[in-house]
Chain A
Amino acid sequence: MSGGANTPLGELPGNPRAGEHGARSCGHPVAFGAETKAAFDRLLTRYPTKQAALLPALWLAQKEFGWISREAVDYVASLLELSPAFVWGVVTFYTMYNRAPVGKHLIQVCTSISCHLNGAESVYAACRKKLGDLKPGETTPDGKYTVVEVECIAQCDKAPAVQVNEDDFFYVTEEKLDDFLKGLK
């Protein structure tokens, strides 16, 4: 069925976090490689139900396939004997499962209160402007950078706090923004 674009609180389509609500197709079926499948099998031994392995399985899927496509949802659902709609409901509840490909550097700028008190909103705006007037959640045309706004990431004493992929960056003020971006290869 048609998926549409929404504009939740300022975020626009193309945002891998909150863009189209229908699952996007990656164009081909997917399956775990041997190593990931082994990790998945180990996962299943840690929980009393298959369903409990859903969040970790989605992490494995995101790592392996890059993002959670419609095919990834169908695949994970089949592995865990859940309905695909249920899995999609879980994927869209949490912010960190990407439902579209993201840039090489997923720049997550915190704008919660402590960072807000240290100028986070202007860092977020400036970061997007410097990367080519990106809209919130948009990826640069060369696929290198995606910029999203996130809520508190528990680095309040080092505000303004930014996360890029899995790494933490501290004191990323507007003045330090250029250096920060330069450091992202």
Chain B
Amino acid sequence: MAKVTVDGRAIEVPDGANALEACRAAGVDVPHFCYHPKLSVVGQCRMCMVEVEGMPKVQASCTVPIRDGMVIRASSERALAARNATMEFLLINHPLDCPICDQAGECKLQDNAFDAGLPVSRTSEHRRLVPGYERTEIGPHVVADMTRCIQCTRCIRFCQEITGTGELTFVERAGHTFVWTHEGKPLDNDLSACAADVCPVGALTVKEFRFRKRVWWLDKTRSVCDGCEVGCNLSIEFKDRIVYRFTPRVQPAVNDYWLCDYGRFLSERLNEPGTTRPIVTGPGGEKRETNWGEALDAVKAAVDRAISDDPSRVIVVGSARLSTEENWLLARLFRDSLKVKNVEFAVDEGPPRRMKRGNDWVYGTEAAPNSRGAEAAGVRRSVSGDGSRLDLLLSKKNSPPAVLYVADASLSDRVSDPAFVALLRAASVLIVHARVKNALSEAADVVLPAANQSGKEGTFVNRDGRVQRFDMAIVPPPVVRTDLEILLHLGKLWGAFDTAWTASDVFGRMKGSVSGYADLDWNSDDLVGNPPSASITSAYDVLGLERRPEDEVFTRPSVTAPDVKP
């Protein structure tokens, strides 16, 4: 560690930090653009200027490695004048696009312009133009507008250093410099939308989000991606029951600052029309909507009947998409209370997803987030030698199940295969929790409408055994229940559960018997991870230090933007 003084405050900073990070540690948020904790330092934007005692000229703080005893003046008149100068230079060519630019509200140029720069413009010259390079798609998910680019090279460095794909480059030089791809090689890699994340202005924006919502209207909730078992931390951003986008939350233990395109654009899945009312099937095969009471009674009746006949003909299928709490309730109810032996789950092998963590790629090969949690909760992982995992479960050819209880109707991609649906349909009574209508829910005898991932809270265990909590964003519509609630209400019919339990209550009850959960605290920050940050590109995580409210008054000499609470 080294002792450094910033604006008169003495602090200790880890060796290897730079002066910008040291200022951050001392509570001084020096404005910057090109610096990013996960990318190489280039010192190009010249925004983060400070004075360092012993160095005669102003310095770009991100380029100054700290030394023990260093004295930094981040808020002296000279430092402020230097930053004002850079801000003025950036604004002379930047278009006045704020009214039509997606980035407004989470734009570093806007934010930094509050801290630095002149309140008026001194230029009357024509602005730089880049005809042909405005609002053009440069990749399947990214729209580029080079009039807005401030040439910070974050996107270029992202593609070179993080994904290693190198699709972006500086083109031309001097005042004509801009960023583009090479003909025929668009910005197309599995993390491509992160290039728009790192862009501090609206030069690169996400196509799917374009013009949909002003970011200051968006409510944000901490969640975890349910696309694979890597378990990237993300923020569900929504307003009035519509999910507008996912953005990554910073989590060095899992996904750094990134989110893969596949996981990011699963957000639209949460807007799909769901199943709306419980459905039961009459004796003549006619399906009708009903209420929860009748539906759950029908389930109980069928299960009781089957168990009294032959419990081995009851098969319960959990899911790696359900939380550990939900899987645990499933196992407690059927296996422990009702003595049903066949409580299993199987998870599809997905196309391999990958995520950059530090300098390494980590891979997710399962198509669901919580196989380890399901297993730890007591639902047996069904594996078979020939790869058709679930079929083994169901291929008791001579006697199809009397009751097949499927706690997730989207348990596999194979539900779009009529043969697979037929296999499950062979059960005498088919009961499903369904988030959306699909072939399996259409075929089921009892359909219990379940909330999608935005309406639930619980924990997933990722590929590394890390337990991560996700929170509810949108209260499910009136008649839809979370899988947790469904199981509590069902279990109550047998006296096994209390419907007053919340997910956190279930968590507390299951801790003792689920491996990996013993020492965890539902309310701890560790479990849920970092808050969605107003600007995910800020240098929050590097030194693990928290923002202290009293620091805000320390250095702002001019108008301060209203603090946007995460």
Contact = CB atoms under 8 A, between A and B. Distances in A.
Given A25-B183, A83-B167, A93 B132 contact: no
Nearest to A70: B183
A5 interface: yes
B301 interface: no
Interface stretch (A84-92, A116-124, A129-137): A84-92
Contacts of A25: 183
A169 B180 CA distance: 37
Contacts, number: 81
A100 interface: no
Contact of A92 (B132, B165, B173, B183): B173
B170 interface: yes
Contact of B183 (A5, A23, A93): A23
Interface string B179-195: 01111111000000000
B219 to A, nearest CB: 35
Contacts of A183: none
A18 interface: yes
A8 interface: yes
Contact of A93 (B160, B172, B186): B172
A1 B137 contact: yes
A73 interface: yes
Contact of B176 (A8, A23, A85): A8
B200 to A, nearest CB: 20
B488 interface: no
A78 interface: no
Contact of A6 (B129, B138, B173, B185): B129
Contacts of B180: 1, 21-22, 85
Nearest to B165: A83
Given A4-B130, A83-B166, A92 B181 contact: no
A4 B131 contact: yes
A70 B182 contact: yes
A70 B180 CA distance: 14
A3 interface: yes
Given A1-B183, A22-B183, A85 B131 contact: no
Interface string B76-118: 0000000000000000000000000000000000000000000
B185 A84 contact: yes
Given A1-B181, A22-B180, A92-B173, A85 B137 contact: no
B136 interface: yes
B497 interface: no
A131 B183 CA distance: 33
A93 B173 contact: yes
B92 to A, nearest CB: 16
Contact of A88 (B175, B178, B182): B182
A18 B172 contact: yes
B171 interface: yes
A39 B296 CA distance: 80
- Could you tell me the dominant secondary structure of chain B's interface residues? loop
B168 interface: yes
A6 B183 contact: no
Given A4-B133, A5-B132, A85 B173 contact: no
Contacts of B165: 83
A92 B171 CA distance: 6
A148 B183 CA distance: 26
Given A6-B131, A22-B180, A1 B138 contact: yes
Contact of A21 (B137, B160, B167, B171): B171
Interface in A9-54: 18, 21-23, 25
Nearest to B176: A8
A8 B172 contact: yes
Contacts of B137: 1
Interface size class of A (residues with CB under 8 A): 20 to 34
Interface string A71-106: 001100000001111111100110000000000000
Contacts of B181: 1, 85
Nearest to B166: A83
Nearest to A69: B183
B135 to A, nearest CB: 11
Interface in A140-183: none
Contacts of A3: 132, 183
B169 interface: yes
B133 A21 contact: yes
B173 to A, nearest CB: 5
Nearest to A90: B169
Contacts of B167: 83, 85
A12 B138 CA distance: 24
A86 B130 CA distance: 20
B154 to A, nearest CB: 15
A167 B301 CA distance: 97
A21 B172 contact: yes
Interface centre among A2, A7, A83, by most chain B C-beta atoms within 10 angstroms, is A83
Contacts of B133: 4, 21
A93 B173 CA distance: 5
Contacts of B178: 21
A73 B182 contact: yes
A67 B178 CA distance: 22
Nearest to B185: A84
Nearest to A83: B166
B341 to A, nearest CB: 56
Contacts of B168: 85
Nearest to B173: A93
Nearest to A22: B183
A134 to B, nearest CB: 22
Given A22-B180, A73-B182, A88-B182, 15 more contacts: A1-B180, A1-B183, A1-B186, A8-B176, A18-B176, A70-B184, A74-B184, A83-B167, A84-B182, A84-B184, A85-B185, A89-B169, A89-B170, A93-B170, A93-B173
A-B complex: 3 closest residue pairs judged by Cβ atoms = A4-B132, A83-B166, A89-B169
Interface of A: 1-8, 18, 21-23, 25, 70, 73-74, 82-89, 92-93
13 contacts: A1-B138, A2-B132, A4-B131, A5-B132, A8-B172, A21-B172, A21-B178, A82-B166, A85-B181, A86-B160, A88-B169, A92-B171, A93-B170
